A and B are shown apart, each in its own frame.
Chain A
Amino acid sequence: MSLFLIAALPFLGAVFPALLIRAGRNASASAAGLTTFLAFVGLMLHAPAIFRGEVIQVGIDWLPALGLNANFFLDGLGFLFAAMILGIGLLVILYARFYLSREDPMGQFYSYLLLFQGAMVGIVMSDNILLLLIFWELTSLSSFLLIGFWKHLPEGRQGARMALAVTGSGGLAMIGGMMILGNVAGSYDLSVILQNKDLIQASPLYLPALILILIGCFTKSAQFPFHFWLPHAMAAPTPVSAYLHSATMVKAGLFLMARLWPVLAGTPEWFYIVATTGLVTMLLGAVIALFKDDLKALLAYSTVSHLGLITMLLGFGTKIAAVTAVFHIINHATFKAALFMSAGIVDHEAHTRNINRLGGLRHLMPVTATIAIVAALSMAGIPPFNGFLSKEMMLEETVHTLWGSSHYLVPGLALLAALFSAAYSFRFIGHVFLGQPRDDYPATPHDPGLGMWAGPGFLMVLVVLIGLFSAKLAGPLVAVAAGAVIGGDDLPYYSLKLWHGLTPALYMSGVAVIGGLILVRLHRPLMALWMATPRPEAKQIFDVSMRGLTKLAQLITDGLHNGAITRYAFVMMLFIIGICYYAYSSGSLGTASRPVQGVGPIPVIAWFCLIIATLAVVAKHRQRQLSLVLIGVVGLVVSMGFNYLSAPDLALTQLSVEVVSMVLLLLALNFMPKDSPIEAPLWVRLRDGGIAVIGGLGAAALIYALMLRDFVAPSISDYHLANAYKGGGGTNVVNVILVDFRGYDTFGEIIVLGIAALVIYALTEAVLGSRVRAYLLNRKPDMPQAGDAHPMMMVVATRVMMPLALMVAAYIFFRGHNLPGGGFIAGLIAAIALLMQYMASGFSWAAERQRVGYHGIIGSGVLIAASAGLASWFAARPFLTSAYGYLHWPPLEEFEWATASLFDLGVFLAVVGAVLLTLESLARFAWQPGMSTEHAMDINPARDAAENSEDEV
């Protein structure tokens, strides 16, 4: 099975449990199980190749320019982890089916679990470190969902938040580290990075990269001082704990350290950071675990301790230590998953996890007791179970390790940790399962059904078999995985067996076991001593620092984002002026190469009008209606200017947009205050005026300088001029550009326009659906109204004008391809023609006669434009390639047709629809009851005469 499919299967499968939960919990669990099983089988199909020492690679270049490729590879290490993730995942799915109660949303649970599983599989199979980072963050997110699965428990929510905060921030640090690593190695592909050990270790950026990556690994793998999140994550349902804390989440950090071992390990920095952290964590976890009364808390700290052990081994940097680390990863996964599940069974059946309330369970639940005791003995390092083997090898390694100049520090502390480890394991056995049964359990414990103990039972069998037949069973897997860690085939000599002779490690083991037994005997007084010792509580420190950070973030956010839009606008303007100044001062201005052009008196008069009108808008902006009139003057001069400067299309467009905008603004002003009070103090107005003057002068100087110089590079306009007729079949180059050369832009633009109109429509609906409607219905006009709302002269005139105006629109539309005009302008003119009916005869009258909705007109416009573009596909041309030709239908003159006209029709319809939908929406605000009338005209002599005659009769 392709690696892509293996990585994708859990994600694809995540949909099914959530859907199938309607068909029952078995269906949901089966879907999750089947998905995992399929992925597991797919992985196992690669096993022969992996054991032959091959590396399987698949990849597609996604964004090669950024070094972001979807590359996967599978070697021994990845295979080992993927097998653990999927294999233990399968057992956990089975276990969870019987563990979760009817009230728990099981479909959700399995979906989260599969998402998490997919992210984990992605991590261990990624070849590209950027891809790896994505999966890495996904595990943080999905584990958040899993840990906080019992949303009703505050501990669950807090634990989930803490895990996310710690592992998430570690992930951020790691992104930095990985980026540095990728830059140093010159590639983001692991297979390349792993070849560049010397280059990376010689780089001055080695240490920063190492520290950042290690922060990521240590937070994920709960190493001191980031270990505190793991025990709090125990608020999760036990299947989650069993999965996250034995085989997956916390092993991700170890995996990454092992993965990067070939390039990062072997330096003093690596040794002192990693090995020391591991050693401290191992000891600390083991000591705390002994004093925990909650079964899961005990196991949590024991996990912390074992993770420290593996970290320390990886930190040693020797090959044999790396082999031991790999072996212990396997062993720890088996016995710890079994232990978590057993603890879950005890909790499930006895309704308590408190060790002080348990004891004697051996008699009541013999199957569970057997599984738990075997696994716990393995954890304590008792032969012949698998935990003994790797712990022996670990102790052996510590003896050969020199820390600073001390021979005794590492072995001594490791022995102490092993001693405490044995002690808490014995306590787990002794205080829970041994002794006499009690009569005060919260519920009567008994063995659960097969479904629940099958998983841990299977793991227990593995614990025993790997212990007894280690070389046969685990040997090949350890060899390929360790070979991948070490990077090369030259594995050091080691042998996985129970009896190595009378080695120092054996003596140390003996001491640890005996010491552990003594500690358990002395547990009661030691516990009293422990409780009396003051010690920092990690959760409180975490909470205080989180509160501090939250306050800081709030302070910054509220300080910057205080809701004063004037301030945002001010800062933005300053910034724009600042970067413009920077651009100006850092560049050089060429000499003027174009002459200025003289000008006659009429343009100067128009210019004066524009200047005066603009100044007047600013001066009179408080009188809103007056300023609208003045801004209309500005718009008219601008249109005239366009016409004067050889842009007839622009002049027509500006003119028609001017009309529509003015109607729009007047409609809106109808409901708004008619004047703006003076609010800003004088200095603020002066300040704003200063900014405005600087901005204006800058813009003027820039465009003046630009106009006096020629193009730096040849313009593409010449191409457009040369090909407008030959390629596009039109002589109006602007129109040909719009509908042909840059038709795709235009297509996007009509869609934007349509969306804008729909936004306005939606806003209108929202506002009119709220309490504002009552206000509008009862609103009294704040200005004197015209006595005659629908004057007869105007009604008659607009009706007469309507066909004429539409005819003008049609004319402008059809000539657009060759002469000034086209869809945009024609659309605006048609919209104005219809708008006049609304204005003259009233909204109700016009709306009644409006048969086709404006939404539909917008939509049909976009669709027609799209189909005109798509049609060129049938001629095997790119989207929006136009075709044209000439037709001769007697008795008409020969005329031209072009597919671009069809596109322009789409533009036309979209513009008509958008403009009218906008204005109609605004007009609906003014609707009041009693406005509907059958008559468009208030005064109609003919009607009045008829009514009078009726009266007479």
Chain B
Amino acid sequence: MEILSVEFLVASAVGLLTAAGIYLILRRRTFPVILGLSLLTYGVNIFLFATGRLRVDAPPILDKYAKVAYTDPLPQALVLTAIVISFGMTAVVVMIALAAYLSSKDDRIDMPHHPEDEGEDA
């Protein structure tokens, strides 16, 4: 079972989430793009988290009584705020998408192609 290591599982998950995220971001309607952003967020957060290297059963909770190993706390702190902030970002994007859809009854993300507006200034 050399292949199925913790590292492999995490790395493949990151890769798949990133790929799925990129694919959905390149779609033409708002909702799949939002889904893609969410998937990409998962991927990026796990990526950042994994830069602290992985450890099982070593939470960074200090133990007064025993000398035990701790995993890297810093990426965790960064990812924690990243999760909350990405919620905020998703919410704003959802809101923009909703407002755009309600105003135009269209949820395409590309602008419709207009014939050029010839503007001549005086």
Contact = CB atoms under 8 A, between A and B. Distances in A.
A344 to B, nearest CB: 27
B64 to A, nearest CB: 7
A573 B37 CA distance: 13
Given A621-B35, A668-B97, A766-B99, A646 B56 contact: yes
Interface of A is mostly: helix
Nearest to B13: A610
A699 to B, nearest CB: 4
Contacts of A614: 16-17, 20, 39
Interface size class of B (residues with CB under 8 A): 35 or more
Given A597-B7, A700-B12, A776 B81 contact: no
A715 B70 CA distance: 13
Nearest to B51: A706
Interface string B3-23: 011111111111111111111
Interface in B83-104: 83-85, 87-92, 94-99, 101-103
Contact of A707 (B10, B45, B56, B80): B10
Given A611-B13, A660-B87, A708-B7, A720 B54 contact: no
A713 interface: no
A737 B74 contact: yes
A258 B79 CA distance: 59
A764 B95 contact: yes
B66 interface: no
Nearest to A775: B102
Contact of A746 (B10, B38, B49, B81): B81
Contacts of A563: 110-113
Contacts of B22: 573, 688, 691-692, 695-696
A135 interface: no
Interface in B34-64: 34-35, 38-39, 42-43, 45-47, 49-64
A618 interface: yes
Contacts of B29: 676, 679
A824 interface: yes
Interface in A414-460: none
A548 interface: no
Given A603-B9, A631-B35, A775-B102, A756 B89 contact: yes
Given A671-B98, A692-B22, A707-B54, A676 B9 contact: no
Given A638-B42, A776-B102, A704 B88 contact: no
A717 B74 contact: yes
Contacts of A617: 20, 24, 35, 39
Q: How large is the interface on A (under 10, 10 to 19, 20 to 34, 35 or more residues)?
A: 35 or more
A672 interface: yes
A770 interface: yes
A549 interface: no
A631 B61 CA distance: 30
Contact of B101 (A603, A671, A708, A753): A671
A477 interface: no
A154 B9 CA distance: 70
B90 A738 contact: no
Interface string A541-568: 0000000000000100010001111110
Given A672-B107, A692-B23, A703 B73 contact: no
Closest 10 CB pairs of A and B: A700-B15, A696-B19, A563-B111, A596-B5, A756-B88, A704-B11, A692-B23, A731-B62, A737-B77, A733-B73
Given A664-B91, A733-B70, A763-B96, 16 more contacts: A562-B111, A566-B28, A618-B20, A624-B31, A647-B71, A653-B84, A676-B29, A697-B19, A699-B15, A704-B11, A731-B61, A734-B73, A753-B88, A757-B91, A767-B98, A767-B102
26 contacts: A157-B122, A554-B116, A558-B116, A566-B28, A596-B7, A597-B7, A604-B9, A610-B13, A628-B35, A644-B56, A646-B55, A649-B76, A653-B80, A657-B84, A664-B91, A671-B101, A680-B28, A691-B23, A696-B16, A699-B18, A700-B16, A716-B74, A749-B84, A824-B80, A828-B84, A921-B95
Interface of B: 1-2, 4-32, 34-35, 38-39, 42-43, 45-47, 49-64, 70-74, 76-77, 79-81, 83-85, 87-92, 94-99, 101-103, 107, 109-113, 116, 122
